[in-house]
Amino acid sequence: MGLRAKTRRVREVGKPRERVLRDVVRLSASPAHPPLLVPTGKVRGYARVMDYQCVVVYTVINIAPPRLATQAAGLSNGCIAWFKNKLKRAVAVYLQSLKLTPGNAIIYGNLACLYYKQGRIDLAIDTYKRAIELQPNFPDAYCNLGNALKEKGLVAEAEDCYNSALRLCPTHVDTLNNLGNVKREQGKINEAMVLYMRALEVFPNFAATHSNVASLLQQQGKLHEALIHYRQAINIQPEFADAYSNMGNTLRELQDVTGALLCFKKAIDLNPMFADAHCNLASIQKDIGNLSEAITSYENALRINPDFPDAYCNLAHCFQTICNWEGYDKRMQNIVRIVEDQLHSDKLCSVHPHHSILYPLSNKARREIASRHANLYTEKVNTLSKVSFQYSLTDKGRLRIGYVSSDFGNHPTSHLMQAIPGLHDHSKFEIFCYALNPDDGTTFRKKIIKESEHFIDLSLVTCSMEAARKINSDNIHILINMNGYTKGGQK
């Protein structure tokens, strides 16, 4: 399974309260109130899915001249159409509104968001810039322009926009969250966490940021802390499909297969068009050997998003596993193209290093795939707290050797090494085997248990640091990691 099959997103989803929105627009239309800015940053700060649980009005902007009743009605229809995903109608309404009030920065900002959602990123960027020209102190527009620039790969420019938004409004939670995402992607974990925490200080019930904090904690190996924040995000926003999917990935790392399956299925129930959740569900089905169901789920993900390399490469591997050679040549051509594109763009490859030997790739490409996956693990280790262990150097007894593996059972590793523990000279060596996987009841596992002087089951120890302390307490002299960079290995 490719590491990238476990997809994780950092954006907020849900359903708006249309009644609240209607009340906002009704106030805007009233002669007794100045026009109000609907905080569209809330509904567009997190990329492609833009439905939110509620609308919070936090900025009041005076726009002259006052809107006529027909203008207010047009804006109302446009906003409500937005939330109902009637994008074409909403675009038409906003364009008509601009004919009536051509200098309205808010309408330009909302129109840009619609263009963004339609995937018309260049047009969205131009429209956001127009909104800023009309209203230079418009933090929402800077924030959302940053999102669009980031989508285009212009990260430095996006970061400048986020900083501009924060200069205008230091408590702009959308921007704090989105700038945190940029810092995280740059590997600046501490800076990202500071920004996320600032966002939560301003808005403790910000589901997206709770989810992002959880994802960062998950990256650091703090899985139980991550679960707390995922659950907070879901409590705040019960229809937060991204949080369910991401929590499923955390439970999967904790080897809670049942919990992970429930989370992925819940995410799909909430958002049937959630390609990442279909892919994550497929990957765990693949893990437990349900290949037919995994194939169906990968195909569902690709129907929703045909340009989904992780799903495609894992689907191709499923087909090879069941010896389905129909369309093989075409699949291989596509995989070679995907790998070449990803290697040229410095992305982590969707093909796992072990799977790369199955495909017609060059040795240079295989080495680069392995190198990038190794770098990923290095980055993960670097995020962990540095702990120094003390070792006794005065032990004059037997040499203590430890073998760590998640494959003590019916797995090729055990097929090949099951006799190794018993072949040591026990007058000179004391053998410890540390299992990261539960007992599968096979003869392979039983033989290793029988022929090891010490067999320790660490499968229920979910904290890597606790497992490390246990091994250290056994005063191991030589520890052999039998997983390397493969699935099931501990950091």
Integer Cα distance of 166 and 154 in angstroms: 19
Best CA proximity match to 300, nearest among 264, 333, 257, 336: 264
Integer Cα distance of 159 and 398 in angstroms: 58
Best CA proximity match to 78, nearest among 90, 68, 88: 90
> Within 10 A of 213 (CB to CB), how many other CB atoms are there?
26
- Is residue 354 part of the annotated active site? The answer reads yes
Q: 354, 373, 411, 477: which is the annotated catalytic residue?
A: 354
Backbone phi and psi for residue 206, each to the nearest 5 degrees, phi listed first: -90, 100
Q: Is the Cβ–Cβ distance between 75 and 67 less than 8 Å?
A: yes
Q: Is the Cβ–Cβ distance between 403 and 431 less than 8 Å?
A: yes
Integer Cα distance of 80 and 168 in angstroms: 28
Backbone phi and psi for residue 433, each to the nearest 5 degrees, phi listed first: -120, 125
Bridge-based pairing state of the strands 429-435 and 454-457 = parallel
Length of the chain counted residue by residue:
491
The residue written with tokens 């998640």 in the block is 406
> Within 10 A of 52 (CB to CB), how many other CB atoms are there?
24
Q: Which residues are catalytic?
A: 354
